[in-house]
Amino acid sequence: MLQSSRAHTATHIARQMLEEQIREGFLEPGSRLPTEPELASKLGVSRNSLREALRALEDCGLVTKRHGVGTFVTDSRPLVKGGLERLVSIAEFIAGEGRQPGSVLVQSSTTAASPELERRLGLTENEQVAVVETIKTADSQPVAVCIDYIPTAYLPENFDAGALHEAIFEGLQRELGIVIKYAECQIVPTTATAALASKLDVSEGAALLLLDQVHVDDRGKRVFHSKSYFPSNRFSFVVIRHR
Amino acid sequence: MLQSSRAHTATHIARQMLEEQIREGFLEPGSRLPTEPELASKLGVSRNSLREALRALEDCGLVTKRHGVGTFVTDSRPLVKGGLERLVSIAEFIAGEGRQPGSVLVQSSTTAASPELERRLGLTENEQVAVVETIKTADSQPVAVCIDYIPTAYLPENFDAGALHEAIFEGLQRELGIVIKYAECQIVPTTATAALASKLDVSEGAALLLLDQVHVDDRGKRVFHSKSYFPSNRFSFVVIRHR
DNA sequence: CAGTGGTCTAGACCACTCG
DNA sequence: GAGTGGTCTAGACCACTGG
Rounded CA-CA distance B185/B164 in Å is 21
The confidence score (pLDDT) of residue A76 equals: 65
Backbone φ, ψ for residue A101 (5° rounding): -80, 150
Of A64, A182, A187, the CB nearest to B243: A182
Mean local confidence (pLDDT), A67-78: 81
Averaged pLDDT of chain B: 87
Residue A207: pLDDT band with limits 50, 70, 90: very high
Using the 8-state DSSP alphabet, how is residue A122 labeled? Answer: T
Residue B79 contacts strand C, CB under 7 A: no
The partner residues of B63 in beta bridges, in order of sequence, read: B73
A225: three-class secondary structure by DSSP? strand
In A69-169, the DSSP E strands lie at 70-73, 101-112, 128-138, 141-151
Query: Which nucleotide C1' is nearest B179 CA?
Result: C17
Residues B160, B132: contact at Cβ < 8 Å? no
Mean local confidence (pLDDT), B172-201: 90
Whole-Å CA distances, A139 to A91, A167, B12: 11, 17, 49
Residue B5: pLDDT band with limits 50, 70, 90: very low
Which residue of chain B is at minimal alpha-carbon distance from A92?
B243
More confident residue, A88 or B103: B103
More confident residue, A125 or A227: A227
Residues 195-214 of chain B whose Cβ lies under 8 A from any Cβ of chain A: 205-210, 213-214
More confident residue, B60 or A22: A22
> Which residues have C-beta within 8 Å of that of residue A144, sequence separation ≥ 6?
A90, A135, A136, A200, A228, A229, A230, A235
Rounded CA-CA distance B181/B220 in Å is 8
The confidence score (pLDDT) of residue A75 equals: 72
Rounded CA-CA distance A221/A217 in Å is 5
CA A219 to chain centroid: 19
The confidence score (pLDDT) of residue B98 equals: 86
Which residue of chain B is at minimal alpha-carbon distance from A230?
B189
> Which residues have C-beta within 8 Å of that of residue A202, sequence separation ≥ 6?
A192, A208, A231
On the question of pLDDT at A157 being above 70, the answer is yes
The confidence score (pLDDT) of residue A233 equals: 82
The confidence score (pLDDT) of residue B206 equals: 95
Start-end of H helices in chain A: 10-23, 36-43, 47-59, 90-96, 115-121, 168-176, 194-200
More confident residue, A99 or B177: A99
B43 CA → C14 C1’, Å: 21
Closest-CA residue to A101 (of A142, A139, A150, A154): A139
> Which residues have C-beta within 8 Å of that of residue B240, sequence separation ≥ 6?
A85, A182, A183, A184, A185, B61, B80, B83, B85
pTM of the model: 0.81
More confident residue, B23 or B224: B224
Start-end of H helices in chain B: 10-23, 36-43, 47-59, 90-96, 115-121, 168-176, 194-200
Residues B238, A186: contact at Cβ < 8 Å? yes
On the question of pLDDT at A88 being above 60, the answer is yes
Residues 140-169 of chain A whose Cβ lies under 8 A from any Cβ of chain B: 169
Helix-helix angle A10-23:A36-43, to 10 degrees: 100
Residues 28-47 of chain B whose Cβ lies under 8 A from any Cβ of chain A: 29-30
Using the 8-state DSSP alphabet, how is residue B164 labeled? Answer: G
The confidence score (pLDDT) of residue B77 equals: 58
On the question of pLDDT at A168 being above 80, the answer is yes
Which residue of chain B is at minimal alpha-carbon distance from A222?
B76
Residue B109: pLDDT band with limits 50, 70, 90: very high
Of B122, B185, B242, the CB nearest to A86: B242
Q: Which nucleotides of D are covered by protein (CB under 7 A)?
A: 3-12, 15-18
In percent, the amount of chain A with pLDDT more than 70 equals: 94
Rounded CA-CA distance B10/B133 in Å is 44
More confident residue, A66 or A209: A209
Q: Which residue segments constitute the domains of chain A, with CATH numbers given?
A: 2-73 (1.10.10.10), 80-238 (3.40.1410.10)
Backbone φ, ψ for residue A125 (5° rounding): -70, 155
Residues A236, A82: contact at Cβ < 8 Å? yes
